[in-house]
Structure 1
Amino acid sequence: MSTTQTQPLLSAALLKPALIESLTKLDPRKQFRNPVMFMTAVVAAVSTLASFTSGGQALGLNLQIALWLWFTVIFANFAEALAEGRGKARADALRSAQTETQAARLASLDDRRIELVSNRSLRRGDLVLVEAGQLIPGDGEVIDGIASVDESAITGESASVIRESGSDRCAVTGGTRVVSDTIVVRIGADPGESFLDRMIALVEGASRQKTPNEIALTVLLIGLSLIFLLVVMTLPAWASYAGISLSVPLLAALLVTLIPTTIGGLLSAIGIAGMDRLSARNLVAKSGRAVEAAGDVDTLLIDKTGTITFGNRRATHLVPVGDASREQLAEASLYASLADTTPEGKSIVELIREQKLAEADASAIANSIEFSASTRLSGADLRDGTQLRKGAVQAVLKQSNVGADAEMLRIVEKIARGGATPLAVSRNHKLLGIIALSDVVKPGIKARFDELRRMGIRTVMITGDNPLTAAAIAAEAGVDDYLAEATPEKKLELIRSAQAEGRLVAMCGDGSNDAPALAQADVGVAMNSGTPAAREAANLIDLDSDPTKLLDVVLVGKQMLISRGSLTTFSIANDVAKYFAIVPALFTGVYPALQALNVMQLRSPASAVLSAVIFNALIIVALIPLALRGTPYKPASASQLLARNLGIYGLGGLVAPFIGIKLVDLAINALGLV
């Protein structure tokens, strides 16, 4: 679990800067980014000027209206500034990891002469030597060595992680510290383009781009504002015909109370807060679009190795065949694996030595055969002429030129059905036995998949393993389906096929072979421990390298969509209610029949408008915590969510203005403000 601490929703450290920023946002160049509140600010400015041209009792009323209009604008700005402030606080914590240090730059892997340079002068492709206790000077990948790395400055995790050349766990992040051993890192980014630089820019709310849904909703709000503007512009003619005088501040106040200022004032805060909720979970979103898409995801493709299971497979047990003994199998496996530098090969050596099954004499080896992806085997030729080979079953059988007997097939099938990968070992073209390489499913992942299923998301495990192994792991992990013997092309084909059916697809992976699929998916989540190619292709990066975090991404995405829908429903219902609450009070003196619609019995047209303006401002303040925290999500269908929105926020938006405006009307009349 991450140890990252999140700030309280309305902490004192955030309130003061947010209040100051809410005033600086009155700059028209900044205010124009929110068209609804820009219109409100213009109306407030006009009302302020008009107030000073009025006199007598009208002056006090008009000034009050102008002040409450400015209050509305400032608190809408405050909501946005507060959301941005939470993101900036996270960015400041990350920025502290960007210290200038000296780096030991190498000319090449063969030339170990060191040139000490500033980490800020490093360029893409430079090689640097990093020893225990030193900070890694920049983003890159380990191309030589293995080391334990402390990533707590970035992820908040206290436990160190292993980074190793030649594996999917080779990516390192600038600002993290090597705890043990020595590694050579190839820098993968120029100054200012590092992962940490991009991460800081992304979590700062001010640099966030609006998502398509936000843009569409903004267009809707502008349309509604223009409609109400036309309505208000026609009122003076009706009022003049009826013998009523409506001042500019009164009309301005009426306009602001009718346009959708509630959602207009909180829209940006909802989006920024969604990004902040992700960063608090150690998830970095490269775009708000990806977070929104996560709210509608219905298919999840998740890579097995390193995501569903713990990293590389490990040797767990040896099974001799025929008349071979376990000791003979162990000795042959040890010699045949010494030249295998893959994690699987190293785990075989570790297993045999830990269990003290055999010892190897390096001087007895005449020729070492390194593991090759093309031959799929490794081995050793001893000085006494013995040939030892270890690798994929079919590869060893082909090299040994022998057939598989019934006993061996039974053992191989049993190991595969158990979710492990069988490797064969031979001596002088005779099969000695099978080594089982097992994947370990991460704890708690089955429960998370059950949760995703309840949310209507179909999970598909993708793996390069054979179908038997894939089926066993899929059953243990609790996924809905699996794709075995998956190549990058097959992953792409599966994603495109699902997208062609109208599905929104999320992909979770960490290897270079996952990069094409991560780029194609609607939501691509890369593990921070994965390869640079995977991190570059994805649009979300999990700093904790926990694939079950996708559930958090989906929840935050759904929260953003539901919060926006809830507040939009409330705002529109709110505006309709205010219209029918205020207009009858304005004209009831001229048209007594309208008294039947004046259900709140407001004292006068002046108190009706002022009460509506005050309520309009206070409701934004009241809804700021909901915009920042988000509407709680519970698994439900679209129709159920719509019914809940209408039942809670629609009904609430209709009822709240009648109660709120009446209470404010009683208060301002009791205080003699009108």
Structure 2
Amino acid sequence: MHPEVRKTAPGKCPGCGMDLIKIPNHKSQIPNSGHTTHDMPKMSHHDHEAAMTNPQMAKNMEADMRRRFWISFLLSIPIFLYSPVATQFFGLHLPTPLAVNWLLLILTTPIVFWTGSIFLTGTYYSLKAKKLNMAVLIATGVLAAYLFSVLITVIRPESETFYEAAALLVTFVLFGHWMEMKSRRGTSDALRALFDLVPPKANVIRGGREMSMPSAEIIHDDVVVLRPGDKIPVDGEIIEGETSIDESLVTGESIPVSKTIGAKVVGGSVNLTGIVKFAAKQVGSETVLAQIIKMVETAQNSKAPGQRIADRAAGWLVIVAIGSGVAAFLGWYFGADAGLLTALTFAVATVVIACPDALGLATPTAVAVGTGIGAKHNILIKDAATLENTSRLTAIVLDKTGTLTEGKPKVTDILGFRGFSPNEVLAVQAAIGAASNHPISKAIVDEAKSRNLETKKISNFEAIAGFGLQGMVNGKRALIGKEKLLTERGIDTRGRRKEIDLLADEGKTLSLLAVANELVGVIAVADAIKPTSKKAVNALKNFGLEVIMITGDHRKVGEAVGAELGIKRIFAEVLPEEKAKYVKKLQDEGKFVAMVGDGINDAPALAQADIGIAIGAGTDVAIETGNIVLMKSDPYDIVAAIRLSRATVAKMKQNLFWAAIYNVLAIPVAAGVFSTSLGWSLRPEIAALLMSASSIIVATNAVLLKRVEPKLSA
């Protein structure tokens, strides 16, 4: 079980003997697509960590372990019924066609060498690589019990043997592995859903005719035809038609997006209304969906810092277990003058119960479940270290535009004077602004359209560079723009000073309207704050984090937004290239800092931060720019990512604590330290049951992370 192993040719893992499997390189296609790789494929460890993220492989591994367990279990039933344990404790004396020990030998042999073969081959390759792992301990215990029993069967057929210990040891450990795989297979649900987003076939135009072909065979610049209800196979750009696309399955955004010629489409989304054609631009591992899958798989296969400590501890524990087993045998056989059978019982039980299986599972199971939950909620976490370190944050820097606000201006207030109603002010400004491409004009036009206002006819339109617009409306000259423009044109604004200053103090941009040289209205425009921003900021402060806002806007605008959201520390008038310096400043203050931005303009700051969080990437996801990528534009997902990290780390600590306490208490009991004083002792098969139970407890506790899911939504 060594996911870090990488080879360029097929073979066995040098650590434990399991088969190596192909993993896709940067040019290969995602599952269900089948594009041929162009580079030499690397071979990766066919183990729990590497395989459990592949849905089909996880299913196959679980089926194999289930089959091994049930065969072992069925063979173990007669072994137990004929064993000395059944005779001594239950008084069973069943008839047998031949000597009991020979019958037990026949029944136990396939358990040891077939259903338990994974432990024997694992031990061979582990020792070959000069490494000690759990397979070594299991194989040592099984072979010690089995070979001792074979020897007794040959030289003293009527004596008591250990066949039931060897058989039940294999059975219980297989059961533990099966339960572990069953629980961990659930972590691939999010990936399985992503795999299923790619349609098996698509309609493509080649040679002037439309044909149906596997999505795997689509290449760059192929023209793909989409009809209502079709899933989009690859990323591309619309070249003909108009439609509405549902991107919720990929980006998490619930509102369908209108698409026209030149618009981008992302593989895995669904065409809703029109018939369109698009040119394939990104195929295979280049697609957004492939990047998401790769990121989740990488995270689930990576190791958290805590896991590296656990791995080292597990390595030492193998040595301690074998040493304790030898010491137990020598102590009982030579020191306590116990019989060979008694000494071997304690030795085998000690080796078995000390298996560091639970210690090895403590953090990988939690990481797999945590990253799977994140992916399900459109929170992509790059690796296990990020998942763990996010829980250590002490400060978080939020970029204003696009993170806390919508990133585009919207009309917030409309004031009408001298008999002009707000709708009339809006209609006149929209009529003149329709000829302009300025963002503020566009916001005013959009607001007028949303109110279904009648479009007024204009003439003599003129743009006044840097100040405003003017034109004739209903035979009267209308002037819109900044207050400075109106003042320069001799239009008195002093009578509305109070209203103008109030809106300006709120950090809003004002567009004043004068008709026939009189001020008749004001429209205030601002970058609207997202609905969940305030709740997100409050939650972050409740986590004990210092929340800082950074913006390139004027200080007054930044302070207005900060006041509304409850953010006290604000860095304003900061250029994009300067944001990294402010993050460094916070780090110099001793803070562990996260930076949240759009993932493109904020790339240097995201790289400087201890944890970089790219938000609202959507179909233009820039996965390489952040440790965490939030596919939606919802600031509450920042809270969800931190909450998920803290919950995952809590499970890691619980699992590590349980695994450590289990080994500290179990080894002395199994070695017989309390046998004479308290009468506590364990047979090897009971030790195996407890060891497996410990692993199941750890895996189950990790699955309980799913309880945090309801708290991840605003």
Same fold (TM over 0.5): yes
Deviations 1:32-89 (A, max 9, x none): 7997433334334533652443426998763333334434543453354234422333
AA of the residue aligned to 1:92: R
Deviation at 1:405, TM superposition (A): 6.6
Partner of 1:7: none
2:305 and 2:385 in contact (8 A); partners too: yes
Task: Establish whether residue 570 from structure 1 lines up as the match of residue 666 from structure 2.
Answer: no
Distance verdict in 2 for CA 1:412–1:383, change over 3 Å: closer
Partner of 1:503: 591
- Match for residue 614 of structure 1? 689
Tell me, in whole angstroms, the C-alpha distance in 2 between the residues paired with 1:226 and 1:173. 52
What residue identity is the alignment partner of 1:537?
T
1:576-587 to structure 2, matched below 5 A, reads 576-585=664-673
1:288 CA drift (Å): 2.4
Question: Does residue 278 in structure 1 map to residue 322 in structure 2?
Answer: no
Instruction: Work out the CA distance in 2 between the residues paired with 1:271 and 1:391.
Output: 55
Q: 1:475 to 1:542 in 2, by over 3 A?
A: same
> 1:98: Cα distance to partner?
0.7
Cα separation, 1, equivalents of 2:277 and 2:195: 25
Shift of 1:455: 2.0
- Out of 82, 85, 89, which is 2:182 matched to? 82
The alignment partner of 1:624 has SS state of helix
* Superposed CA offset, 1:354-399 (max 9, x none): 557773436x356678xxxxx76674677999997766777x689x
Which residues of 2 match residues 191-590 of structure 1 at below 5 A? 191-203=284-296, 208-242=301-335, 243-244=337-338, 245=340, 250-310=346-406, 312-319=408-415, 330=426, 333-341=429-437, 344-353=440-449, 359-361=455-457, 364=459, 379=469, 411-423=499-511, 434-479=522-567, 481-510=569-598, 512-528=600-616, 530=618, 532=620, 534-585=622-673
CA distance in 1, matches of 2:219, 2:432: 40
2:62: which partner in 1?
18
Q: Is the 8 A contact 1:90 1:203 kept in 2?
A: no
Structure 2 unaligned residues grouped into runs of 5+: 1-57, 69-116, 709-714
C-alpha distance after superposition, 1:97-133 (max 9, x if no partner): 211323679xxxxxxx999997656667899897876
Name the amino acid aligned to 1:618. Answer: A
The alignment of Structure 1 onto Structure 2 pairs a total of residues equal to 590
Structure 2 distance, partners of 1:391, 1:83, is 63
Relative distance call for 1:485 and 1:434 in structure 2 (3 A) is: farther
Q: Relative to 1, partners in 2 of residues 1:177 and 1:84: Cα closer, same or farther, differing over 3 Å?
A: same
**Structure 1: distance between partners of 2:375 and 2:217:** 29
Answer yes or no: is the 8 Å Cα contact 1:321–1:408 preserved in 2.
no
Q: Distance in 2 between matches of 1:360 and 1:616?
A: 81
Give the aligned CA root-mean-square deviation in angstroms: 4.8
Unaligned runs of 5+ in 1: 1-13, 106-112, 370-374, 589-594, 634-674
Residues 580-628 of structure 1 show CA distances to partners (whole Å, capped at 9, x for unaligned) of: 3344447x6xxxxxx4xx33x23xx6x4555433322223334432122
Alpha-carbon shift at residue 272 of structure 1 (Å): 1.0
Three-state SS of the structure 2 residue aligned to 1:192 is helix
Contact 1:47 1:249 in 2 (8 A): no
For residue 218 of structure 1, report the CA deviation from its aligned partner: 1.2
**Amino acid of the residue matched to residue 282 of structure 2?**
A
Question: Alpha-carbon deviation of 1:265?
Answer: 4.0
Letter aligned with residue 182 of structure 2? L
**Change in CA separation of 1:335 and 1:445 when aligned onto 2, cut-off 3 Å:** closer
Q: Which moved more, 1:287-296 or 1:404-413?
A: 404-413
Is the CA contact 1:51–1:62 (under 8 Å) kept in the aligned structure 2?
yes
Using the TM superposition, name which of 228-237 and 91-100 deviates more. Answer: 228-237
Letter in 2 for 1:153: L
Relative to structure 1, the CA distance from residue 622 to residue 102 in structure 2 (aligned partners, 3 Å threshold; closer, same or farther) is same
Describe the shift of the 1:361–1:632 C-alpha distance in structure 2 as closer, same or farther (beyond 3 A): closer
Question: 3-state SS of the aligned residue for 1:312?
Answer: strand
Q: Report the alpha carbon displacement of residue 539 of structure 1 after superposing the two structures with TM.
A: 3.2
- Give 2:635's aligned amino acid: P
Equivalent residue in structure 2 for 1:91, among 172, 185, 191: 191
Identify the range of structure 1 (341-350 vs 118-127) with the bigger mean alpha-carbon deviation: 118-127
Asked if 1:46 corresponds to 2:143, the answer is yes
